[in-house]
Amino acid sequence: MVQIVNNKLFSGISPKELLEATYKASENFQVRAFFEAKEEILKTGKYSEQEFYEILDTMIDAETERKIVLDQLRGKKPLFLEEITKSIKAFLAENVIRDVIYLKEQGYVEEQVEIKTKTVIKKIKGEEKEVEEKEYFYRYQVKEVPHDFTEHYFEPVSIVFDSGVCCYCGWCSSVCPVNAIEVTADNLEIDDNICMKCGLCFTVCPRSFSIDQAYQSIKKLDKSLTYSEKIGGYINAYTGTTTKDEIKKVRQDGGIVTSLLEYLLENKLVDAIIAVQHSSDLWRPEPIIIDDVKDLYKTGGTKYANAPSLKIIDQAKKYNKIAIVGVPCMMKAIEKGTLFPSGLPFFKNIKYKVGLFCMESFSYLDIIKLAKDKFNQDINELTKMNIDKGKFIITLKSGEELAVDLKEVQSYARDNCHYCEDLTSDYADISVGSIGSQSGYSSVITRSKEGEEIFKGAVDAGLIEYQNLKEVKPGQGLVERIAISKRKKCKPIILETQKE
């Protein structure tokens, strides 16, 4: 039997089952909070009435689907996500996976973790040694809950901020339907008088609950991808450089990012791009919307201070198709918005995610301090900062380069970066960094059909020259080694309520 509800298919579900699930979905706290705040939401002007109902509609559909998945999972023994997708055929496998993870957060499903130890042979300082490695296995089962159980309520993201783990990506601020959140590069404030306690900000925040298990299982389903524990799911890995002299003047490494963005704008694959430029304070990055190629070059080059780029996404709503450049935590934030609460009902115009590699970032004030302490330089004298071959390197206006060991500057990095496990922007369509490539080149990892297409499109347009990353030294091996060491060092995120 196939039910068509709001143009979506609920196949193999009986009308009774569907009706009950829809009724339960309408009682969900997020759906209710959103519905009840209709007037306030429309007053902010963020969404038109039609958009408001479209969002509500997708929220109810997603919640209905979850209730059906919950019912079909009841009474089953603990199962791996892959096994669950085989046993529940009513929905796409990736939907079932995201539903189970969300049901866990709602308090209906428990996650059981089994740890096994295996012995592997590793080359350490040229010598082969036996090393013990832990492997983690995650299974999921519906919990026995009391009859009067109420599903978990999601807090606003002040809880993430108060726990000291907010990475200031800015996503919650764009998503909040009543504009209650103000995020800067180092602060987050919620206006309690406006907040309607819908918890949507918490749902999409990359630092609230983890989507790592969902991500891994979904990527493993996609047979067009190679899945690596170190660098995530990918199609190809390249090393490349721009062919354009104007881009060479402003680029950080291979100028790949600027070349890709130029290709996207010139070929009208997007109407606008969200990137960062220097603000009136040199080296303090400022998020910017670019809709004209002539403004693109001012975004070239890495600013190592963080900027909450995602907070301006809602300002780009007027464009039909946009691309976003950002660090891994931002790519994860958008992916979370795509999975939850209902398949990216908020900013459907995001077409391409161009991710950067990122080991850590710094607050603007700490960058100034670093330049003074380690190089005895005023920040305004710097024309470039770079991390290469284990060194933090600055270039002065005179052209002189000064370097210190990377270890010496690591204490200046933001604390909240220590909760970040992703070096290579696993959640992007295409990821770009310097590790693995020669100077003047960037390492590029394509992770989706779209990412591969735009890379090859820019190559065909004569903007980029490339080779396979495995054909060069230090190559993909180094990217993988540094990526896994970042994962191992990452601190677990514990929110204030979980500490009690």
Residue entry with tokens 């960037």 = 442
The β-bridge partners of 285 are 278
List of long-range contacts for 400-406, beta carbons under 8 Å, 24+ apart: 402/375, 402/377, 404/374, 404/375
Q: Which does 300 bind (CB under 5 to 8 A by kind): ligand FAD, ligand SF4, none?
A: ligand FAD
Q: Which does 276 bind (CB under 5 to 8 A by kind): ligand SF4, ligand FAD, none?
A: ligand FAD
Q: Which of 357, 412, 455, 466 binds ligand FAD (CB under 6 A)?
A: 357
- The minimum distance between CB 90 and ligand FAD, in angstroms, equals 40
* Site map 425..464 versus ligand FAD, x via CB under 6 A: -------xxxx------x----------------------
* Site map 277..316 versus ligand SF4, x via CB under 6 A: -----------------------------x----------
41 in Cβ contact with 47 (< 8 Å): yes
According to the binding rule CB under 6 A, does residue 181 interact with ligand SF4?
yes
According to the binding rule CB under 6 A, does residue 248 interact with ligand SF4?
no
For residues 217 and 302, which CB has a smaller minimum distance to ligand FAD in the complex? 302
Q: Which of 190, 264, 367, 370 binds ligand SF4 (CB under 6 A)?
A: 190
- The minimum distance between CB 376 and ligand SF4, in angstroms, equals 26
* Site map 239..278 versus ligand FAD, x via CB under 6 A: ------------xxxxxxxx----------------xx--
Residue 112, both tokens = 């059981």
Q: Which of 100, 166, 370, 385 binds ligand SF4 (CB under 6 A)?
A: 166
Whether omega before 474 lies within 30 degrees of 0, making that bond cis, reads yes
428 in Cβ contact with 353 (< 8 Å): yes
Query: What ranges make up the beta strands (E) of 159-216?
Result: 181-183, 188-190
Whether omega before 341 lies within 30 degrees of 0, making that bond cis, reads yes
Q: Which of 64, 199, 304, 482 binds ligand SF4 (CB under 6 A)?
A: 199
Please name the helix (run of DSSP H) or strand (run of DSSP E) that holds residue 29, with its range, or none: helix 29-36
According to the binding rule CB under 6 A, does residue 316 interact with ligand FAD?
no
102 in Cβ contact with 66 (< 8 Å): yes
- The minimum distance between CB 470 and ligand FAD, in angstroms, equals 17
Look at residue 283 and give its three-state secondary structure: coil
Nearest to 359 by CA among 258, 483, 257, 474: 483
What residues contact residue 63 under an 8 Å CB cut-off, 6+ apart? 24, 25, 28, 30, 31, 342
State the Cα–Cα distance between residues 124 and 122, nearest whole angstrom. Answer: 6
For residues 63 and 360, which CB has a smaller minimum distance to ligand FAD in the complex? 360
* Footprint (CB under 6 A) of ligand SF4, residues 409-468: 417, 420
Q: In angstroms, what is the C-alpha Rg of the chain?
A: 23
Q: Which class for 411: exposed (0-12), middle (13-18), buried (19 or more C-beta within 10 A)?
A: exposed
For residues 416 and 434, which CB has a smaller minimum distance to ligand FAD in the complex? 434
Point out which residues bind ligand SF4 (CB under 6 A). 156-157, 160-161, 166-172, 176, 178, 180-181, 183, 188, 190, 195-201, 205-207, 306, 327-329, 333, 358, 360-361, 417, 420
Point out which residues bind ligand FAD (CB under 6 A). 251-258, 275-276, 285, 299-304, 306-307, 309, 325-327, 356-359, 361, 387, 432-435, 442
